[in-house]
Chain A
Amino acid sequence: MSKRTVQFKMYRYDPDRDEKPYMQDISVELEPSDKKLLDALVRLKVKDDSMSFRRSCREGVCGSDAMNINGKNGLACLTDVDSLAQPIVLRPLPGLPVIRDLIVDMTQFFKQYHSIKPYLVNDNPPPERERLQSPEEREELNGLYECILCACCSTSCPSFWWNPDKFVGPAGLLAAYRFIADTRDEATNERLDNLEDPYRLFRCHTIMNCVDVCPKSLNPTRAIGKIKDMMVRRAI
């Protein structure tokens, strides 16, 4: 790839300076080695040091740089900048309060994650060595444990937009199922009780935006479906 100039339309808002948010037209020249959207953002920040976004691992595993890219949520570090239509429209993740520019307040998102008790519950005294689990039992956790809590899914979900305080959202529900599916966890009933409510689980209307945007190719909708099935089976 050669040097090229890329056009952006950036959501800007600094509460210390701006009365209200605005969209800024800005362009930047990329070096041949710049491949990902995050490379371009870092380049932009050299030009204007007030450009604010979170970033850390730059390889899609820490979940810091989730944002709304040309209308779709994704990670800047995993998005090829040359694949995007220009001007590249960047906005903060939808549905969460904006702190500054692309940085959102994720309190509500983590509150929902914490609400499902995201830790293994097993009150039996642990054995001296590891608890045993067959490879097949362990395989049940694949597609669940890899979540990076980037919030692309929950903030693309209309049900979460309407009821972020009541609906757990796809990320939290995926985590709930991760523990339900773990043969070492003994709190399945309590976990189902915790979700038995008109909102917490059942606000999922299988719109499947979550599946569409997940940068780790996970499928929260399927996990939610499995929890719903268990709920139904338990009721019979």
Chain B
Amino acid sequence: MKIAKLTYDAVIVGAGGAGLRAALQLSESGLKTAVLTKVFPTRSHTVAAQGGVAASLGNSTEDNWHWHMYDTVKGSDWLGDQDAIEFMCKKANEVVVELEHYGMPFDRLDNGKIYQRPFGGHSQNYGQSPVSRSCAAADRTGHAMLHALYQRNVRAKTQFYVEWMALDLIRDADGDVVGVTAMEMETGEVSIFHAKAVIFATGGAGRIYYSSTNAFINTGDGVGMAARAGIPLEDMEFWQFHPTGVAGAGVLITEGVRGEGGILRNAAGERFMERYAPNLKDLASRDVVSRSMVTEINEGRGCGPDKDHVLLDITHLSPETIMKRLPGIREISIQFAGVDPIKAPIPVVPTCHYQMGGIPTNYKGQVVAPQGDNPNAPVTGFYAAGECACASVHGANRLGTNSLLDLLVFGKSAGETVVEDIQSGNLRLKPLPEGAADQALARMARLENQKDGTDVHEVRLAMQRTMQKHAGVFRFADLLKEGVTRILEVAEQAKTTEIKDKSKVWNTARMEALELDNLIEVAKATMISAEARKESRGAHVRDDAPDTAEFPNGRRDDEWLKHTLWYSEDNRLDYKPVNLQPMSDDVEPIALAKRTY
């Protein structure tokens, strides 16, 4: 089979927020850059973000990056690396203002500045009171941001390969990354993209769960490719369950609803968050709110005939506020819950939303992996940013609005690092190894020739049900153990998937089978890492690690203040220290403490 080879300075995989932000850096520096994306850029999942992007602009309440950093470290349950968190919070104002200059249609305050609203876990003065830190364009911030970034890339004449699906990473004998293989959807042809640098900005894998706010396309392609190429995955046990997915449909209802004054109520109409988080109440951190909701439901105080959800109430807000600040939520609620939130509360339930872990990187966007004594040795030629990456700024639990910030800051940072590394001559075009496309071609050939195989839909469903049951909001030692056995069985089934459609042209059956290969890597990483972590921290809460006087919230800093690293080969686990040191002397390390809201 003859394979086309295309050569670039840099190849970016993914054209959501992180990919587009990185692309701007590269295009504007004049490097020859290709952006591969399996959907047209504005269809990427960044488009679905609603509530806002964090920056301590202080436009309506006093604020500074120190407070933002404190909230983020605390939100991460101290698993976030403090150098990366300092970097992100310090850079927030710069990247948000840049975005405004690109044309982002932020809402405005009367004085003409960017409108900011309160959000969960964000506070003034180290946890004292809520702060307005979320810069918003109504409840369509992700849409406005993604389009503004795409538009800026049109101006910068960025070269896109639209509807090309990346298949596998190419590493040479030194372990350096020298390119990717990719398939053009329209023709089914595989090509090699040979480059000095590869940036992954492929998003998360929320579709490993049965009930997810995520788009169909969120199949963890970059994470799966990295795992197959021998790169470890970091902290994959930590998944965010967003408190407010529409019950039944899973569609996201932004935390901005609570930022604007929305209240969660149980069957008795009680504002139950007052009991769990007396200070920040409904605006406590997401993991805390989700667990509180599930506790209410488990204890019989859920709403509806099956008592299986709670209610998000904004009927006390004026219709004008709802129409102005939450118009998209109203549309979604009418469409997917059959409820006009002006008149009646929205039925909601915690729903899988965000992957805190991912491909390990440093704050420069370089992918890092253990090598000799160095747990964080950069992998030459390989960079990652956004949800697919783990910098790690979110640690064990991400704060709302920090994901859009993450992709701006680290998309830009990865782009800058690549430009620097190429212009300084540190990165050169290394020759492709023999059989550079073999891994991808073998997967394609296997799928082409599979007989008496398993059904893609069935295997995916088995995976999703397993993840939902065995690695949910609350985790149980016995269920996790059983979950490992079960997910490894499902992974075996995924090795023999069979498709009936063998067409070359826009073959979505083939695409879904290839995506399943990636999802399965993420599912294994999640279950195995979760089973192994014998403590409760952030979004990972186990029945056998309860809240005690000795170990508040079940967190075991004596044993488990460390990052998990999972290797696909042999499902091996390794660990590396959390960086508790900020990057500069501008701030003291945020000391370990019990997390309350």
Contacts and interface: CB of A to CB of B under 8 A. Distances in A.
B305 to A, nearest CB: 14
A188 to B, nearest CB: 14
B43 A133 contact: no
A224 B48 CA distance: 28
A128 B47 CA distance: 27
Contacts of B248: 33
B113 A119 contact: no
Contact of B108 (A56, A62, A99, A133): A133
A116 B292 CA distance: 50
B101 interface: yes
A61 B109 contact: no
A179 B328 CA distance: 22
A89 B114 CA distance: 46
B205 to A, nearest CB: 14
Contact of B39 (A64, A117, A132, A145): A64
B151 A120 contact: yes
A106 interface: yes
Interface residues of B, number: 59
Interface residues of A, number: 56
A9 B248 CA distance: 29
Interface stretch (B257-265, B420-428, B505-513, B558-566): B505-513
B43 A185 contact: no
Interface string B247-289: 0110110000000000000000000000000000000000000
Given A58-B215, A133-B112, A50 B105 contact: no
Contact of B505 (A49, A100, A106, A138): A100
Nearest to B513: A49
Interface in B308-331: 328, 331
Nearest to B94: A128
Given A64-B39, A133-B112, A146-B143, A16 B503 contact: yes
Given A61-B48, A132-B112, A133-B112, A16 B97 contact: no
B42 A63 contact: yes
A56 B151 contact: no
B109 A59 contact: no
A59 B332 contact: yes
Interface string B20-50: 0000000000000000000110111101100
A45 B44 CA distance: 22
A205 interface: no
A52 B215 contact: no
Among A48, A52, A110, A141: residue with most chain B CB under 10 A? A52
Contacts of A137: 108
Given A138-B105, A145-B105, A118 B113 contact: no
Contact of A141 (B102, B105, B215): B105
A60 B335 contact: yes
A143 to B, nearest CB: 11
Interface in A143-190: 145-146, 148-149, 179, 182, 184-185
A148 B186 CA distance: 22
Nearest to A137: B108
Among A14, A119, A133, residue most surrounded by chain B Cβ atoms (within 10 Å):
A119
Listed residue (A46, A61, A117, A148) with the most chain B CB atoms within 10 angstroms of its CB: A61
Nearest to A185: B103
A52 to B, nearest CB: 5
Nearest to B512: A49
A106 B162 CA distance: 11
B113 A61 contact: no
B251 A138 contact: no
Give the interface SS of chain A, mostly helix, strand, loop or mixed.
loop
Given A49-B501, A146-B143, A78 B45 contact: no
A132 B216 contact: no
B492 to A, nearest CB: 21
Contacts of B140: 61, 146
A91 B143 CA distance: 27
A119 B506 contact: no
Nearest to B218: A56
Contact of B152 (A33, A61, A114, A119): A119
B186 A99 contact: yes
A15 B43 CA distance: 25
B553 to A, nearest CB: 34
A49 B506 contact: no
Interface in A33-90: 33, 35, 45-46, 48-50, 52-64, 78
Given A50-B501, A133-B112, A78 B40 contact: no
A129 interface: yes
Contacts of A185: 103
A135 B143 contact: no
B572 interface: no
Contacts of B186: 99
B457 interface: yes
Nearest to A113: B154
A120 B155 CA distance: 9
Given A57-B215, A61-B328, 16 more contacts: A14-B505, A15-B505, A35-B249, A49-B456, A49-B457, A56-B216, A57-B216, A59-B251, A59-B252, A120-B102, A126-B101, A129-B97, A130-B57, A131-B101, A135-B107, A182-B103
Interface of A: 14-17, 33, 35, 45-46, 48-50, 52-64, 78, 99-100, 103, 106, 110, 114, 117-120, 122, 126, 128-135, 137-138, 141, 145-146, 148-149, 179, 182, 184-185
* Closest 10 pairs between A and B when the two form their complex, measured CB to CB: A120-B103, A132-B112, A50-B501, A49-B509, A119-B151, A16-B503, A62-B43, A130-B100, A119-B155, A126-B101
11 contacts: A50-B501, A57-B215, A60-B331, A64-B40, A118-B154, A131-B100, A131-B101, A132-B112, A137-B108, A138-B108, A184-B103
